Every structure is written in C-alpha cells, then in structure tokens.
Amino acid sequence: MTNGIPYATALEQYEPKAERPLPDQEMSGEELRRAYHPDHYADSIVELNVGTNKGDACHRQLADILQADARIDEADLAGAPIVETDVLVIGGGGAGCAAALTASRGGASVILATKLRIGDSNTVMAEGGIQASIEKDDTPQMHYDDTLKGGHQNVNKDLVAKLVMNGPDVVRWLIQQGMQFDLDKYGDLLTRRAGGTSADRIVYYRDYTGLEMMRVLQEAVRTSRIDVWDYSPAVELLSDELGHCAGAVISSLEDNRYKLIKAKSVIIATGGIGRLHLNKFPTSNHFGATGDGLVLAYRLGARLQDVDSFQYHPSGLAYPQHLAGTLITEAVRSAGAYLLNGNGDRFIEELQPRDQVAAAILRECAEGRGVTVDGGGQGIWLDTPGVELREPGIFDARFPKLIELGKKSNIDPRKQPLLIYPTLHYQNGGVVIDENCQSSVPGLYCVGEVCGGIHGRNRLMGNALLEIIAFGRIAGNHAMETAPSHKHKKSSIEHLSQLRRELTLANMPMDKQGPALFPSYAKFENDSDYGGLHKTTQVES
C-alpha cells in the first residue's frame, strides 16, 4: 500500500469551509485517464484467444470466465424436466421486468428466471435518477450530444438516438406502472443536472429512484401472468441445429437440479459484473453481478464490444470497512460537494466525467496525499459539511438515504466529511445489439447493463435506468412479435463441443468453469445447498 495521511490525523486537520478555490490543473483529462484509470493498468488487459472476439482486448478477469469450460455436459441433462414457453427472460432486474411485462401483455407466454429473488439487482440500488429530456430549455438532441460526448464519441449512434427519443415515454410508462416521482407544487416533474450534461434532465424519486422503480416493476410482474422462477440461475443456453438460441438450462438453487426451458425467443438481462472485483476493487454492485450473461451469450457466438472498459464510480465509501464500496450518489457532487485530499486541498473540478474524477482520486492516493485507514483502505474526503454550510438543511431534505448511511457508519455527513475511494460500478461494454436488442445470434436478445454500444467507454448518470426501460420494452415487444414465426426446435448444448475444441486447440486451461454465478467468497461451490448453513458445510481454515 502507498503512504498517505492517517485517518485520525487527517480528520483532525480538517476544517469545514463553505468555499475553497480549485488550484490550476496540470494534467489534461486524457493524461489523467491514461496514467491512473484502472482500464489502463499494466497487465489488466489481455487478448481473447477463442470465440467471436478472438484477438480483441478484454479485461483479464473477464477473459478468464469467457474462456472457461462450461458447468455442464450432456450427462447432467439426462432426465432433466423440460418446460416450453414463447419468451424466456433471464434476469429479474429492471430490464428483465420491463421486457417480461411487455412480452406478456402482448400475448406471449413468458417465463422470467432469475438467479436469486426478482429485484435483487443493480436496479434496486440506483439512487440518482433517470435522464429524460422534458424541460423547455432541453431537447432530445442535447441529450444525444451529451451522451456522445460522455462516451467519448465511441457509441452506436442509432442506439443512442433511440434511447433519447424514448426518454419522455419511458417516464410516462413508469408512471403508468405506478411509479412515483418527485414533483413541484404544481405537479410538474422536478429535474436536476447530472455530471457532464448541458441541461437539467434527471427525474428522480428522493434518493430512492431505483428502489421505487424496482418494487413497482416487481409488483407488476408478480401480480401478472408471468411465470417467475426465483433462485434459478441460467448456467447455459440451448442451441438448435443451426446454432440459433433455443432456450436455456437453469440450475435450481432449491433442489440442485437442472431444468431445461425451451423458448422461441430468449432475452438475457443479467446486468453487470462488479462482483468479479476487477483489479481487486470494491464494488457498488449487488451480489449477483458476476457477468454471467456475457459468458452465456459469448459461448453461443454472440459478439461483444468494449469488454476492456469499466466504470469506476468516484465516490464509493472507503470507511467504515464493512460498508466499503457502497455508493454515494453523484447527486451529492451535483449539489456542490468538493473533493479534498488528505491535506484539505481540492485537486479536480468535481463534475468532470466520472472516469476523469476517479483517475484524479487514484492519483492523489498514489502520490501519498490520500487518507489511510488502519487495517487496510484509503481514500480522499467528500466535503459534505461544506455543502451543509452553504445550504443548511439540504441533506435532510434531499438525501435521506445518505443520512441513514451516516447513522450506520457513526458519521454525521453534515458535520464530518466522508472518506471515499473509486468503486467498481458499471460495465460500459457488453453484448453487441441492434435497434431491436437482437444479438448476432438469431433468437437471442440482450438488454440492459449486459449490452454494449450505448454508453461508449463512459456512462453518464441516469442513462442506465433509461436504457433498461427503453430497450427492455423494445426487446420484450420484438421477442413477442417474432415468437410465432419460430417453432420449438430441436434444442441441445451441442455448441459446447465446439467451445471445448477451440479451448483445447488454443491450449487454454480447462480447470475453471463459467459462468461464475456468485463471487468466490460466498463459497457457493462448497455448499450449494438451498438451506445454506444447514447441511454439510466445510469450513476452510
């Protein structure tokens, strides 16, 4: 670990002040990123050796699971029950629920299979809000331009155009599902500004936007005709004789049995990858975010993009340790909170794009101006007391969840600054999709964080929640409409023989299996018993 200023010393030196000047910046954003952003760490990026993206750059830890052996073979499926449906949705976050609801209302039979419970997701954790251009001085064009700029121009323009044009209708649709938003006294939607944008465009519900969205969608799904399979992670896709997607293999956590779901269309909505702890970073993501969808899709031949690019959110909590990685919403910086190093100095314009701010924090820590914590961990200050001085009462009114977090940490953010450090937050790239969310494999749709193309190599706050609903509806609709033209075909895991051949030819180790399903520290392989502790648990010393 690098040196820095011990927590107690730094806290003693800290003085709340309303205003602080920003010193001149010596490095450009691009220089900062190149030198300090984790995407550029030496050794963390490798070339893929097998599959559709052979030769492309990929994060080492992701490459390990993309090029791992499958969890199952033919023998495992003998006697496994088979169920048929029109549309199978894999993943019970916001994207999966929106897709399932749309397909089901359109008349398709729908199974929604999810790893844990529906709603255990990154969606439920979102705080900041959703982008949608609705204010008079804003246009979809400005939203489009901001998204391109934020993504460093490296985006699929057709997808972005569709995203921004759908913004207002997504908000309308959410209200029609029963989602509440913060309104002014006339009943208009309140808006606020996100980092890197040119208008007030974020609509929100307190700092519980994701919770409000997820519980409403979850309730809509649970009270509908959709057949929900909880505790049912997908471990493999099924293919037909043409290599098209024909369903999936589910492993039930309740009885440890495999089940086959034959489907006319499959929609993968498995979310992100934070729980792989790339470069050993803490993460803001939920427990099931292990990149499974990427592995499932890649094995069937789907093309991926930008799998070497991830978002490290600048403000993850660094202290206390049991909450390390917990996200502090960007809205706190939008509200004017400064970032201060251990000496109490500002070092970056706080509302620069996330990748740049994260890189600047990592620089401060690397150069010894960070704050270190006994027992591991380091960070810099998020100067919340400064905001309270300028605008008394703001935390109580606008950030109830942050005040709660403070209580759990024994820190009153109105009086004491919070120690933060970048946290692995979002998978920028993912499966390549077209405007109807179709992957390069016929019959296989992908939607949500598992996809690439919309955010380029850096996502703006609020665009992910918009993406999951806008494209969730599109995917659900298209999958439903094309379902009648597909017959239930022969389905097998024949594509795995091809995978194993390629792995052997490329001399890849076959000792690892994918998808990961759970982070290693949860010891899933030790005891996959549904009752957790009840059965034969082996304790490693």
Beta strand 110-113 with 82-90 is parallel
536 binds other proteins (CB under 8 A): no
Own/partner pairs, 158-161, CB within 8 angstroms, 24+ separation: 158/435, 159/433, 159/435, 159/453, 159/454, 160/454
From the list ligand FAD, other proteins, none, partner contacted by residue 109 (C-beta under 5 to 8 A by kind): none
Respond yes or no on whether the N-terminal peptide bond of residue 515 is cis (omega within 30° of 0).
yes
Separation in Å, CA 498 to CA 71, 495, 504, 532: 15, 5, 10, 35
Shortest reach from residue 240's CB to ligand FAD, in Å: 21
Using CB under 6 A as the binding rule, the residues of this chain from 36 to 55 that contact ligand FAD are none
519 binds ligand FAD (CB under 6 A): no
Known catalytic residue: 313? yes
The CA distance from 75 to 64, in Å, is: 25
Of 16-24, 47-55, 221-229, 488-496, the segment contacting other proteins by CB under 8 A is 221-229
From the list other proteins, ligand FAD, none, partner contacted by residue 462 (C-beta under 5 to 8 A by kind): ligand FAD
Shortest reach from residue 396's CB to other proteins, in Å: 14
The CA distance from 108 to 101, in Å, is: 10
Angle between helices 209-222 and 94-105 (to 10 degrees): 40
Among the listed residues 53, 102, 197, 284, the single contact to ligand FAD using CB under 6 A: 284
Question: In the stretch 372-391, what mask flags binding to other proteins with x, by CB under 8 A?
Answer: --xxxxx-------------
Among the listed residues 129, 301, 472, 519, the single contact to other proteins using CB under 8 A: 519
Known catalytic residue: 333? yes
Shortest reach from residue 197's CB to other proteins, in Å: 16
From the list ligand FAD, other proteins, none, partner contacted by residue 324 (C-beta under 5 to 8 A by kind): other proteins
Choose between 385 and 514: whose C-beta lies nearer to other proteins. 514
Choose between 443 and 515: whose C-beta lies nearer to ligand FAD. 515
Of 79-87, 294-302, 319-327, 495-503, the segment contacting other proteins by CB under 8 A is 319-327
The CA distance from 283 to 49, in Å, is: 28
Separation in Å, CA 105 to CA 256, 343, 473, 487: 32, 58, 11, 21
Cβ atoms < 10 Å from Cβ of 355: 28
Question: How many residues of this chain bind other proteins (CB under 8 A)?
Answer: 103
Using CB under 8 A as the binding rule, the residues of this chain from 401 to 430 that contact other proteins are 404, 408, 421
- Say if residues 271 and 118 touch (Cβ distance below 8 Å): no
520 binds other proteins (CB under 8 A): yes
Using CB under 6 A as the binding rule, the residues of this chain from 210 to 269 that contact ligand FAD are 210, 233-234, 269
Residue of 9, 13, 19, 7 whose CA lies nearest to 386: 19
128 binds ligand FAD (CB under 6 A): yes
C-alpha 223: how far from its chain's center? Answer: 26
Q: What are the structure tokens assigned to 37, written together?
A: 């952003």
Shortest reach from residue 353's CB to other proteins, in Å: 20
Element (H, E) at 33: helix 29-36
DSSP letter (8 states) at residue 130: E
Using CB under 8 A as the binding rule, the residues of this chain from 77 to 136 that contact other proteins are 116-117, 119-121, 124-125, 133-136
The CA distance from 311 to 101, in Å, is: 29
Choose between 302 and 373: whose C-beta lies nearer to other proteins. 373
34 binds other proteins (CB under 8 A): no
Angle between helices 495-505 and 292-299 (to 10 degrees): 90
Using CB under 6 A as the binding rule, the residues of this chain from 467 to 506 that contact ligand FAD are 468
Which residue type occupies 349? E
Cβ atoms < 10 Å from Cβ of 490: 12
| Catalytic pick among 333, 414, 425, 478 | 333
137 binds other proteins (CB under 8 A): no
Choose between 167 and 271: whose C-beta lies nearer to ligand FAD. 271
The CA distance from 237 to 24, in Å, is: 53
From the list ligand FAD, other proteins, none, partner contacted by residue 461 (C-beta under 5 to 8 A by kind): ligand FAD
3 binds other proteins (CB under 8 A): no
Shortest reach from residue 323's CB to ligand FAD, in Å: 12
| Catalytic pick among 313, 369, 425, 473 | 313
Choose between 140 and 336: whose C-beta lies nearer to other proteins. 140
Shortest reach from residue 398's CB to ligand FAD, in Å: 14
DSSP letter (8 states) at residue 419: E
Among the listed residues 5, 10, 108, 318, the single contact to other proteins using CB under 8 A: 318
Among the listed residues 277, 414, 457, 478, the single contact to other proteins using CB under 8 A: 277
Using CB under 6 A as the binding rule, the residues of this chain from 136 to 155 that contact ligand FAD are none
| Cα angle, residue 460 at apex, residues 136 and 378 outer, rounded to 5° | 135
- Say if residues 476 and 468 touch (Cβ distance below 8 Å): no
Question: In the stretch 104-123, what mask flags binding to ligand FAD with x, by CB under 6 A?
Answer: ---------xxxx---xxxx
- Say if residues 324 and 377 touch (Cβ distance below 8 Å): yes
Residue with tokens 């949500």, as numbered in its chain: 448
| Cα angle, residue 160 at apex, residues 158 and 163 outer, rounded to 5° | 110
The CA distance from 145 to 161, in Å, is: 10
Q: Rule CB under 6 A: which residues touch ligand FAD?
A: 90-96, 113-116, 120-123, 125-130, 209-210, 233-234, 269-272, 284-285, 288-289, 292, 327, 426, 448-449, 461-465, 468, 515
Active-site amino acid positions: 313, 333
